[in-house]
């Protein structure tokens, strides 16, 4: 049963990347297609998946319903929403809200820019911890012992020439983030994309989320992006106040 559940969840993950045929799913899972078909039947009956006339499988409506309910249950998203909308309307730049989920950091909200350029990030997507401003911010709050254990198991994949790819350099970057209370991704995650981020705190002072602004260098050079740092920090401070945070 455990193996079947694991495979069924893997099917949903694969369908999240795009429609797939029975043969394609079987190849990805490394099992016979009769096994995949057996797993797909209860998924389609419960509307977690469906197949079209071309016999390709898609995510079903029940998945989107659960995703919407999960978003509704994330209180920080609801609290932050009016502040993020106001910030996005005034400055017109791609704005992300991210939070920790276990050992991962994920985007829980995204507001698009007024530019024609769109970024591949999406709500529910896991953040690259070594190359994103929000990832650095969320990990910067960990106690040193926990941080070092976390970093020891991190994925240090190089995504651009600027990506941090060693634990030592990452820990040094975290110290900079702690000292200044904001973070930067200077073409570390995507070529030509710069990003700045600031933390959101709850009533206890714990960082529970992070907000970032991302802009292509051709649209706004990095030095001009830094002009948005203080408005961004003010927005995060307002969200934090609504979360009950009162600076001492």
pLDDT of residue 206: 86
pLDDT of residue 170: 96
DSSP state of 213: E
Contacts 24+ apart (CB under 8 A), 179-186: 181/233, 182/133, 182/137, 182/229, 182/232, 182/233, 183/133, 183/134, 183/136, 183/137, 183/140, 183/210, 184/133, 185/131, 185/132, 185/133, 185/136, 185/212, 185/214, 186/162, 186/222
pLDDT at 71: 52
Give the model's pLDDT for residue 73: 52
Q: Which pTM does this prediction carry?
A: 0.72
**Which pLDDT does position 247 carry in this prediction?**
79
**Which pLDDT does position 69 carry in this prediction?**
63
Q: What pLDDT, on the 0 to 100 scale, is given for residue 226?
A: 96
Residue 70: per-residue pLDDT = 60
Residue 18 falls in which region: left (phi positive, over 0), alpha (psi -120 to 50) or beta? left
Assign 110 to helix, strand or coil: strand
The confidence score (pLDDT) of residue 188 equals: 94
What integer pLDDT is reported at residue 108 of this predicted model?
92
Question: Going residue by residue through the chain (248 aa), what tens digit of pLDDT does each one get?
Answer: 588 888 888 999 899 889 999 999 999 999 998 999 999 999 999 999 999 988 899 998 888 777 666 655 558 888 999 999 999 999 999 999 999 988 889 999 999 988 767 777 788 788 889 999 999 999 998 999 999 998 998 989 999 999 999 999 999 999 999 999 999 999 999 999 999 999 999 877 889 999 999 999 989 999 999 999 999 999 999 999 888 887 77
């Amino acid at each position: 049963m455990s193996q079947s559940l694991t495979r069924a969840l893997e099917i949903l993950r694969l369908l999240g990347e795009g429609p797939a045929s029975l043969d394609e799913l079987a190849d990805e899972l490394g099992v016979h297609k009769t096994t995949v078909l057996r797993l797909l039947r209860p998924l389609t009956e419960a509307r977690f998946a469906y197949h079209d006339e071309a016999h390709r499988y898609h995510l079903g409506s029940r998945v989107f319903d659960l995703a919407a309910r999960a978003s509704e249950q994330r209180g920080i998203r609801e609290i932050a929403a009016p502040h993020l909308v106001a910030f996005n309307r005034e400055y017109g730049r791609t704005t992300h809200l991210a939070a920790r989920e276990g050992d991962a950091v994920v985007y829980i909200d995204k507001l698009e820019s007024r530019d024609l350029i769109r970024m591949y990030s999406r709500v529910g997507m896991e953040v690259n911890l070594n190359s994103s401003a929000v990832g650095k911010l969320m990990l910067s709050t960990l106690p040193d012992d926990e941080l070092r254990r976390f970093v020891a198991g991190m994925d240090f994949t190089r995504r651009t020439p600027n990506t941090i790819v060693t634990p030592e350099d990452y820990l040094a970057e975290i110290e900079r983030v702690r000292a200044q209370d904001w973070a930067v991704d200077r073409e570390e995650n995507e070529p030509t994309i710069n990003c700045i981020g600031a933390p959101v705190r709850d009533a206890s002072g714990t960082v529970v989320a992070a907000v970032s602004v991302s802009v292509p260098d051709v649209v706004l050079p990095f030095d001009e992006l830094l002009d948005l740092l203080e408005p961004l920090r003010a927005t995060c401070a307002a969200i934090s106040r609504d979360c009950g945070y009162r600076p001492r």
